[in-house]
Structure 1
Amino acid sequence: MDTMRERFISSTTRLLAEDPRLALVLADISAEGFRPAARAHPDRVINVGIREQLMIGVGGGLALTGLRPVVHTFASFLLERPFEQVKLDFGHQGVGGVLVSVGASYDWPAGGFTHMAPGDVALLDTLDDWTVHVPGHPDEAEALLRRAAPGDDRVYVRLSLQSNEHGWPVDGARFLTVREGRSGVVVAVGPMMDHVMAATEGMDVTVLYATTVRPFDAAGVRRAVGHGPADVVVVEPYLAGTSTAAVNDALADVPHRVLGLGVARREIRRYGRMEEHLAAHGLDPAGLRGRIGRFLGAGASR
């Protein structure tokens, strides 16, 4: 199976051929994969080198001319380093584009903390009118990219090396109900889905699958919860608690408790491997089972 990044390269190469409005802006990352596209569309594939602030500025400028920019690099260099440009050159100017990241929270630990971005979605939450997609499989990444490409809105697509075994029929809006139960609701975001399913095996819980987290599917959570009182667990592959406020807003008139599971704020300085980071943050199946079970109590067991 190809990775999400590989699928992004092949899908965007086809989209550039299909849509003359589409333009791609790179900062060296993935430039080799896009070499054929650059030869075919030299005026719409732009590599600015390792100049991430310029990359965002060029993307915003292309949007002002009527093009649809796809801007791509590691998450830490796409959102954190050039955040002022994202805020001003897209948001303040009122133009749209598609920001596509790789690296996720700790996909390449050997690259060090400079290449980790567990706070990317929380940071983007400080701005308005951004759609955020977190696919959990290459098929979903392609579907969500194709959904984003023709629009005029602002979209962030967060790709990861971590992938579920198979893709789901995502629509870019609603959460999918994968399992129904009576003792709580667990929302699994993107690549956390397989781990959540393994962790909740035998538990009497509803599992929702989320690949589009902004806008947050408040109606889907309300349907899953019913009239309450309710316990909701959100398992996200980035900063723990990023979506707990969204759950609280969705259930403002329903008695409820929320547990946000994700990457801890504490920096892990022994970089190791991605799997070791998942375990260290309690995001492997064993860690999730213990934390979800303790939160939901004895009633969660079938």
Structure 2
Amino acid sequence: MDTMRERFTDVAGRLLEEDPRLAVVLAVISRDRFTDAVRDHPDRVIDVGIREQLLVSVAGGLALTGLRPLVHTFGSFLVERPFEQVKLDLGHQGTGAVLVSSGASYDIAAGGRTHQAPGDIALLDTLDGWTVHVPGHPDEAEALIRHAAADDDHRVYVRLSEQSNRAARPVSPGRFRVLREGRAGVVVAVGPLLDATVEAVEGMDVTVLYASTVRPFDAAGLRAAVAGADAADVVLVEPYLAGTSAPFAAEALLDLPHRLLALGTAREELRRYGTWQEHVAAHGLDAAGLRERIGAFLSGSAPRQLQGSPERYRQ
């Protein structure tokens, strides 16, 4: 199976053929994957070099001319480093673009802290008007990228990762998908953490919702799921900073007494870089870690706190 990043570069090349409004803006990253597109569309594939602020500013300028830019690099270079340009050249100017990141939270863990971006969506949440897709499979990534590219002027962030579920699910942008129903609580699994979440709750009488789009947050879908359960216990399982979607879930359930457990990556920096698989386990986001904490929460026990490294967490 190809990766989400490979699928993006393939789809972007085909989209340039299909839609003359589209342009691809790069900052060196993935340039080698657009060789044919550069040859065929030299005026619509722009590599600005290692200048991430310019990357976003160019996208804003292209949008003002009527083009629909697809902007791509690693997440830490696409959202965090040029955040002022994201805020001003896209948000303040009211222009639209599709930001497509790769690297996710810890996919490039060995690259060090500069290449890690677990806080990207939390940072975008400080701005208004962003749609955020977190696909869990390359097929979902293609569908969501095509959906975002066909939009006229909205600001869209598509977060691609190395981690992937075994099978794709139908995507409904802006809506959670009910995968199974239960009475003891509701678990919302985001993007590539679906497989681990489903394995973790095996044998638990819970509703499982799948989210490949997290902004806008499907408040109505969550409320409906909670209304169908005996216990208003909600667990969010997100592949980025823990608690990122907690305010949105709390707002959706504002008038309903409920308990909320927000699972994701910890704020503490893990300095033993390792692999993304090791980071998933260290943050308790593998099936074993999720089962322990979700089970404890639903039973009324206090979930064990992570200690910040794979070795310490396993002790």
TM-score band, normalised by shorter chain:
over 0.9
Whole-angstrom distance in 2 between the partners of 1:60 and 1:171: 27
Deviation at 1:213, TM superposition (A): 0.2
Q: Which amino acid aligns with 1:101?
A: S
Deviation at 1:298, TM superposition (A): 7.3
1:258 equivalent to 2:264? Answer no
Q: Which amino acid aligns with 1:285?
A: A
Matches within 5 A, 1:118-157: 118-151=118-151, 152-157=153-158
Please name the residue that 2:205 is paired with: 204
Whole-angstrom distance in 2 between the partners of 1:298 and 1:99: 40
Please name the residue that 1:71 is paired with: 71
Whole-angstrom distance in 2 between the partners of 1:84 and 1:273: 30
Deviation at 1:245, TM superposition (A): 0.5
Whole-angstrom distance in 2 between the partners of 1:84 and 1:99: 15
Change (3 A) 1:198 1:166: same
Asked if structure 2 preserves the Cα contact closer than 8 Å seen for 1:229 and 1:255, the reply is no
Whole-angstrom distance in 2 between the partners of 1:268 and 1:238: 14
Please name the residue that 2:285 is paired with: 283
Whole-angstrom distance in 2 between the partners of 1:179 and 1:277: 28
Deviation at 1:291, TM superposition (A): 0.2
Whole-angstrom distance in 2 between the partners of 1:83 and 1:274: 25
Q: Which amino acid aligns with 1:87?
A: K
Deviation at 1:171, TM superposition (A): 1.7
Deviation at 1:150, TM superposition (A): 1.6
Please name the residue that 2:243 is paired with: 241
Q: Any idea what the Cα deviations from partners look like across 1:256-279, whole Å, max 9, x if unmatched?
A: 011100000000000111111011
Whole-angstrom distance in 2 between the partners of 1:298 and 1:85: 45
Please name the residue that 2:311 is paired with: none
Q: What's the secondary structure of 2:132's corresponding residue?
A: strand
Q: Which amino acid aligns with 1:274?
A: W
Please name the residue that 2:81 is paired with: 81
Please name the residue that 2:184 is paired with: 183
Q: After the TM superposition, which segments of 4 or more aligned residues of structure 1 sit over 4 Å from their partners?
A: none
Q: What's the secondary structure of 1:216's corresponding residue?
A: coil
Deviation at 1:121, TM superposition (A): 0.3
Structure 1 unaligned blocks of 5 or more: none
Whole-angstrom distance in 2 between the partners of 1:258 and 1:137: 27
Please name the residue that 1:273 is paired with: 275
1:192 equivalent to 2:180? Answer no
Deviation at 1:173, TM superposition (A): 1.6
Whole-angstrom distance in 2 between the partners of 1:126 and 1:82: 14
Please name the residue that 1:105 is paired with: 105
Please name the residue that 1:165 is paired with: 166
Asked if structure 1 preserves the Cα contact closer than 8 Å seen for 2:180 and 2:207, the reply is yes
Please name the residue that 1:5 is paired with: 5
Asked if structure 1 preserves the Cα contact closer than 8 Å seen for 2:62 and 2:69, the reply is yes
Please name the residue that 2:45 is paired with: 45
Q: What's the secondary structure of 1:268's corresponding residue?
A: coil
Q: Any idea what the Cα deviations from partners look like across 1:90-117, whole Å, max 9, x if unmatched?
A: 0000010000000000001111111000
Please name the residue that 1:230 is paired with: 232
Q: Which amino acid aligns with 2:180?
A: R
Asked if structure 2 preserves the Cα contact closer than 8 Å seen for 1:110 and 1:271, the reply is yes
Asked if structure 2 preserves the Cα contact closer than 8 Å seen for 1:24 and 1:69, the reply is yes
TM-score norm. by structure 1 comes to: 0.98
Q: What's the secondary structure of 1:177's corresponding residue?
A: strand
Report % sequence identity. 71
Q: Which amino acid aligns with 2:234?
A: V
The two structures, once aligned, show a CA RMSD in angstroms of: 1.1
Deviation at 1:35, TM superposition (A): 1.0
Whole-angstrom distance in 2 between the partners of 1:236 and 1:130: 18
Asked if structure 2 preserves the Cα contact closer than 8 Å seen for 1:11 and 1:142, the reply is yes
TM-score norm. by structure 2 comes to: 0.94
Structure 2 unaligned blocks of 5 or more: 302-315
Please name the residue that 2:219 is paired with: 218
Q: Any idea what the Cα deviations from partners look like across 1:173-208, whole Å, max 9, x if unmatched?
A: 210001110000000000000000000000000000
Q: Which amino acid aligns with 1:250?
A: A
Q: How many equivalent pairs are there?
A: 299
